[in-house]
Structures are given as C-alpha cells and as structure tokens.
Amino acid sequence: MRDDTVARNYAETLFTLAERHEGLDAYASGVEAVARLLDENPKVRLFLETPRISGADKKKAVRDAFAGKVPPDLVRFLLVTIDKRRQRLLRRIAAEFHALVDEHYGREHVEVTVARPLEEETLATIAQRLSRVLGKEAVPHVRTKPSILGGIVIRTGDTIYDGSVRRRLDGMRRQLMKARIPSGPTP
C-alpha cells in the first residue's frame, strides 16, 4: 500500500475515535501538538523513526511525553503506530486528520496572495466573500508577494483565481504584441 493511502486509513480511524470519545477539537489540538513536536524537533522525529531503537523505548517516550496532555485514546493510537512501524507517517496522518476535520466542519483552506499586507477588516471581508462563493467557511492563509503589483490571487484546491495587476498587464502586453500596425502613410 502506498504511504498516502496508509496515512489516510490511519487518519480515518483516528477521526472515528475522536467522534466517539473526547471530540474532534480535543483530538485536533492533540494531533497538532504531536505534528508540531515532530516538525520542530528533528531529534524527536529521528528517535521515533530509527529502527535501532526498540519499540518499547519509543512507546515509553511517547507515554511520558503525551500522557495527560492529549486524550488517552490518542496516546494509544500513537503506540499502535509504533507497533505497526508506521510512526514515520505521523505527520502525514496528522495532515489527513486535519483535512477530515475541516471537511466535517465545512471549512476550506484558501491561499490568498496580495502585494501588500492586509488590514484585519479587509481580510474579514475577503473571508466572508470567499465563504459565500465556496459555500463553505473559508480559512484564508495570506501571503504577501510584491511581484503581483496589486490585486489578489486566490488558490483553493486546484483552482486559481488570478485578479493580479501583473496578470492584467501581461494580458495587455500580449494583446499589443498581436495587434497589427498599419504599414501605410497615415493622414
């Protein structure tokens, strides 16, 4: 099985656990804590992924690190990933889990690119309009890219809405380059 499929299957199992027990929000914050620990501490990730370290040592470290801080079933889930030697997929599992939670709550993450930083009021308006267009709660992730000159570029999934000044100028340039200029004398 491909890693993506395995990660999705584990995430679906974790999602079902979350719905049955402490709730999606408790699990989402716990999964976020685990993913953040693995992202920010390469030594922890290496410790969990190294086959030379026994599973028992890894499981003890996980229990010590997360017991009382995340839901107990999430700790047991982490221990199962170690038993099944899937701990290297924990970050992918976390991403898949968050995607399932977002889908459940009707949220969609949207990348918004602008030329200059936005004010909070403008960002709220953009989020509101995107939510209306998408039919879901839009969660904008804003990045500033001066090279677009002005306007806005929105990416949601595989769809890009490019309302940048740079794109408009490029379009005008292409049209001008295609234009035929009369070669005869002008009156």
Q: Tell me, yes or no, whether 127 lies in a domain.
A: yes
Residue 84 has pLDDT above 90, yes or no: yes
Q: Residues 50-66: pLDDT tens digits? A: 999 999 999 999 999 99
Q: Tell me, yes or no, whether 186 lies in a domain.
A: no
Q: Is 95 in the same domain as 118? A: no
Q: Residues 113-136: pLDDT tens digits? A: 999 999 999 999 999 999 999 999
CA angle 31, 33, 36 (to 5 degrees): 105
Q: Is 94 in the same domain as 116? A: no
Q: Is 71 in the same domain as 13? A: yes
22 pLDDT band, cuts 50/70/90, is confident
Q: Tell me, yes or no, whether 119 lies in a domain.
A: yes
Q: Quick one: what percent of the chain has pLDDT higher than 90?
A: 70
Q: Which of 50, 76, 103 is the last residue of a domain?
A: 103
Position 186 scores a pLDDT of 59
184 pLDDT band, cuts 50/70/90, is low
187 pLDDT band, cuts 50/70/90, is low
Average pLDDT over residues 85-94: 93
What is the torsional sign of CA 110, 40, 115, 120?
Answer: positive
Q: Tell me, yes or no, whether 183 lies in a domain.
A: no
Q: Is 92 in the same domain as 12? A: yes
- Choose among 38, 36, 87, 35: nearest CA to 59: 87
77 pLDDT band, cuts 50/70/90, is very high
Q: Which of 41, 74, 103 is the last residue of a domain?
A: 103
Q: Is 87 in the same domain as 131? A: no
Q: Give me the domain span that covers residue 24.
A: 3-103
Q: Which of 84, 103, 122 is the last residue of a domain?
A: 103
Q: Is 127 in the same domain as 149? A: yes
Q: Which two tokens stand for residue 159?
A: 């769809």
Q: Is 117 in the same domain as 45? A: no
Q: What is the distance between the alpha carbons of residues 85 and 108, in angstroms, rounded to a whole number?
A: 32
CATH number at residue 9: 1.10.520.20
Q: Quick one: what percent of the chain has pLDDT higher than 70?
A: 97
